[in-house]
Amino acid sequence: MAARRADAPGKVLERLRAICLALPEANERVSHGEPNWFAGKGKVFASLDDHHHGAAHLSVWLPQPPGVQELLIEADPERFFRPPYVGPRGWVGVVLDTAPDWGMVATLVRDAYVHVATQKLRRLLGEA
């Protein structure tokens, strides 16, 4: 059981990585000691938090349009939270180490990508 628990962050990272890198021109770079995913040469759309600075959970932080952070946290405060540093700018934290709904995670990652992507990248994704 301990071996499975120790491997869980790796499996979560691989699943998150697959979701992020499936988006047009998405790329991964380490920033602040954690994997981050960028929309082309532009902005970060997903940032892993693997218990950074003693955080309670393995999570992903995602930029969201105004108002979305509050709605998600209100709907499910055990799954969503306001992350430090970027929370005041509308980012939402999504807990990943307690059996996440991966379809919902993929949707939120895509929304975050669309939120920061250039028009060219949004067109490649099929967004208006």
Region 88-97: what's the mean pLDDT?
Answer: 94
Residues 93, 70: contact at Cβ < 8 Å? no
Indicate the helix (H) or strand (E) that contains 122: helix 119-125
C-alpha distances (whole Å) from 54 to each of 33, 51, 74, 128 are 14, 5, 24, 40
Question: What is the residue-averaged pLDDT of the chain?
Answer: 90
pLDDT score at 128 = 54
Region 74-88: what's the mean pLDDT?
Answer: 94
Q: What are φ and ψ of residue 42, in 5° steps? A: -95, -130
Is the model's pTM score more than 0.85? Answer: yes
| Segments forming the whole domain that contains residue 42 | 2-125
Is residue 15 helix, strand or coil?
helix
pLDDT score at 83 = 93
Number of domains in the chain: 1
pLDDT confidence tier of residue 10, bands split at 50, 70 and 90: confident
What is d(CA 25, CA 32) in angstroms, rounded to the nearest whole number?
22
Closest-CA residue to 115 (of 80, 86, 79, 90): 90
For the CA atoms of 90, 52, 59, 83, what is the dihedral angle to 10 degrees? -20
| Domain at 110, CATH number | 3.90.1150.30
